[in-house]
A and B are shown apart, each in its own frame.
Chain A
Amino acid sequence: MQTLFEPADPAVAKELAQKVIELADRCKEKFGVMPAFMEVCGSHTMALAKTGVKLILQGHVNLISGPGCPVCVTDQKQIDAMIEVAESNNRIVCTFGDMIRVPGSKRSLQSAKTEGRDVRIVYSPLDAVRIAEENPEKEVVFLGVGFETTVPVLAAAIQLAAQKNLKNFSMWATTKLVQPVLRTLLSVKKVKINGFLLPGHVSIVLGEQAYQFLIDEFRMPGVISGFEPVEMLSAIYKLLKMVYEDRPEILNNYKSVVRLEGNKTAQKIMNEFFQPCDEAWRGIGVIPQSGLEIREKYSRFNAKEKFNIKVGEPKKTLCRCGDMICGLASPEECVLFGKACTPLHPIGPCMVSTEGSCAAHYSYMRKEG
């Protein structure tokens, strides 16, 4: 079998890593501080740790995990509500894999499942539509989290349910948009970084154009990157070069799949079924117009309207996931990390999702245990 992307020769990656280190050290010499970049996307967090890029650049480039893991940024109240949805009889709750283990205030969907609730992991929201069709006597609710990468598929599921005129399918959507959160990190949270390693997958939908505001409003450079070591290293190299020369730009280093204008079809279906709304982010709070909700026209598929779910304010824990997704703390700075909070007993979502900064650190960077 031929794969689409053959990994590049490791010798090239090694040489590139050396060049990155040299340029990073020159930046440090010039500005007096180690250059710091934030990877926005959870898949980057994982790939940087797993491929050893983060380790080899340690002490030269500070790579900070950002808010791009959809599970990690989901507000705890929403998770409590989703678990509440699963509590009633005669319901099938479908969700993506990671969501099932995220602890709510009292328990997780996993524990609801263990107690006999019908909670199913699906790979695609379209599978949930199929399940609804096969179980007409039950209410099927899909818990939809995700960024612009996922929303078009959520929209496609609603479209399919509408075409099939299904009365028993609905979606509890709590989705997030990339632009507003980056703006908040820079303007409100004052995150100290020199540039963004921009997400590959989200950019396929949004296009290169989506990040121009970083330059216009913040003079903050960014490079859209793929996930192979060579792709990530060359993106970091380009970031360093822009920082060193003080010539910030948005560069597309993932041209094989990311276009200037993005994926118009995906954008169209997203707009047809969803509209912007204020959205709460875990650890950050409500960011105006930073999420998407199901449009009024399709409210019959909106689980938030269909079911009367009320949950209280979640209790505070020592979990620092909120700081983590803003790049204000590293996993080892959290007192719970690796002790009370592990992938087997996660306390916060950053430890649950394979793309969370804590899980990536625990799996790939941890030295103890």
Chain B
Amino acid sequence: MERKVTLAHGDGGELAHKLIQQIFVSAFGNGNDARFDSAFLSLNSGEIAVTTDSFVVRPLFFPGGDIGKIAVSGTINDLAVAGAIPLYMTVGFIIEEGFPFADLRKIVRSLAEEAEKAGVRVVAGDTKVVEKGGADGVYINTTGVGLQRVSGAIDPSRIEAGDDIIISGTLGDHGIAILAARGELGLMTDLQSDCAPLNKMIHSVIEKGCDVKMMRDPTRGGVATTLVEIAEDFSSVLEIEEQSLPIRNEVRGACDILGFDPLYLANEGKVIMIVSHSDSEKVLDTLHRFPEGENAVVIGHVTGKGIGHLLLETPLGSKRRLHRLSGMMLPRIC
């Protein structure tokens, strides 16, 4: 019979101990640390970056990833785009009663694997089990800890007209992959989610001494919402060209059918960089060396300062303003 998580696995007793030993400790390989109520971290002196995030994705498994992988990517990318070097993570699992052991093991392994690949150690964790119907399978909460670079190279206050806007790859892969995986929209595609930790790629760009003034990962709300926020936060006029946007045909096709706009679809493995024009080539060269950055391109430019606007130049040459995603994107009906 399939083994399932029961409420007893969350009561702190024998079963809870087994669950943690069999699934978590074995995956994260921190047997010694697990004997204490807190983890002890060694950090060199300097500023520490901390981020927290929660993951409630549905479905839990999707082409290109699962909730475990996305938890690692999301946490690490938040640190990396802030210019920090991600080092440690904690994970908290909220598990619905009846959740299959096999699936939990898969999720935890995937989380551990991704963290290891990214060079980040999972140093503390927690599990809680809630009654059936109290959660949708598994939720994960994370905290990420990183070390801020001393050089402080990333300084958005230096954004100026003439800077280039770079995206590290195609738009909306995650959004469409998830929608398709839900199977509710009659959409069949072999499109994979882009979810991936980007810290090594970003690190490489910064190590090359490229003049990167700002980075953000365009997750929920998509590229348009992220750029609107940058424009407003740093009073800059950003202009992007519709024709330069890298969009896979599968994503374009799905958007055409469902009435979505790729500019507002979620990404989980992309970074937007604002770089000085003279370093643009160097940044692209570096990004292209990584599989996550092979489709990196310049999508636009900073054209002014003083007001915070995002403009889109259409192929016809007309320019229209883009705004934040407003409400949910819903499929159109005819």
Residue among B250, B259, B315, B331 facing the most chain A CB atoms (10 A cut-off)? B315
**Nearest B-chain residue to A126, judged by Cβ:** B186
User: Which of B250, B316, B333 is the one whose CB lies under 8 Å from A229?
Assistant: B316
Contacts of A124 in B (CB 8 A): 186
Kindly state the separation between the CA atoms of A123 and B314 in the bound complex, as whole angstroms.
30
Residue among A42, A123, A355 facing the most chain B CB atoms (10 A cut-off)? A123
**Would you give the 0/1 interface string for A83-100, flagging 1 where the beta carbon is closer than 8 Å to chain B?**
000000000000011111
Contacts of B248 in A (CB 8 A): 1
**Nearest A-chain residue to B312, judged by Cβ:** A52
Main secondary structure on chain B at its contact with chain A?
Answer: loop
How many A residues have CB within 8 A of the partner chain?
A: 51
Determine if A97 and B318 form an interchain contact, defined as CB atoms under 8 angstroms apart.
no
Contacts of B243 in A (CB 8 A): 10
**Nearest A-chain residue to B326, judged by Cβ:** A343
Range, interface on chain B:
20 to 34
Determine if B186 and A123 form an interchain contact, defined as CB atoms under 8 angstroms apart.
yes
**Nearest A-chain residue to B313, judged by Cβ:** A52
Determine if A52 and B327 form an interchain contact, defined as CB atoms under 8 angstroms apart.
no
Contacts of B314 in A (CB 8 A): 51-52, 55, 229
Instruction: For the complex formed, measure the closest distance between the CB of B255 and the CB atoms of chain A, giving whole angstroms.
Output: 11
Residue among A7, A122, A364, A365 facing the most chain B CB atoms (10 A cut-off)? A364
Among A31-39, A141-149, A291-299, A318-326, the one that faces the other chain is: A141-149
Contacts of B331 in A (CB 8 A): 96-97, 121, 123
Residue A101, interface by CB 8 Å: yes
Determine if B332 and A52 form an interchain contact, defined as CB atoms under 8 angstroms apart.
no
Contacts of B105 in A (CB 8 A): none
Kindly state the separation between the CA atoms of A353 and B331 in the bound complex, as whole angstroms.
10
Residue A366, interface by CB 8 Å: yes
Residue A354, interface by CB 8 Å: yes
Determine if B333 and A150 form an interchain contact, defined as CB atoms under 8 angstroms apart.
yes
User: Which of B316, B319, B326, B332 is the one whose CB lies under 8 Å from A342?
Assistant: B326
Q: For window 312-361 of chain A, which residues contact chain B by CB distance below 8 Å?
A: 342-344, 353-355
Query: Given that A1-B249, A122-B184 are known contacts, is A96 also in contact with B317, CB under 8 Å in the complex?
Result: no
Determine if B316 and A13 form an interchain contact, defined as CB atoms under 8 angstroms apart.
yes
**Would you give the 0/1 interface string for B166-197, flagging 1 where the beta carbon is closer than 8 Å to chain A?**
00000000000000000011100000000000
Residue B252, interface by CB 8 Å: yes
Contacts of A46 in B (CB 8 A): 259, 332
Determine if B334 and A42 form an interchain contact, defined as CB atoms under 8 angstroms apart.
yes
User: Which of A1, A53, A344 is the one whose CB lies under 8 Å from B327?
Assistant: A344
Q: For window 40-79 of chain A, which residues contact chain B by CB distance below 8 Å?
A: 42-43, 46, 49-53, 55-56, 70-71
Kindly state the separation between the CA atoms of A107 and B258 in the bound complex, as whole angstroms.
26
Determine if B333 and A52 form an interchain contact, defined as CB atoms under 8 angstroms apart.
no
Residue A367, interface by CB 8 Å: yes
User: Which of B184, B259, B316, B321 is the one whose CB lies under 8 Å from A10?
Assistant: B316
Residue among B248, B253, B330, B334 facing the most chain A CB atoms (10 A cut-off)? B334
Q: Give the interface of B toward A (CB within 8 A).
A: 184-186, 243, 248-250, 252-253, 259, 261, 314-321, 323, 326-327, 330-334
The 8 nearest A-B residue pairs measured at CB: A52-B314, A97-B330, A10-B315, A52-B318, A96-B333, A343-B326, A55-B318, A56-B318
9 A-B residue pairs with CB within 8 Å: A1-B248, A43-B332, A53-B316, A55-B320, A96-B331, A201-B334, A343-B327, A344-B327, A369-B323
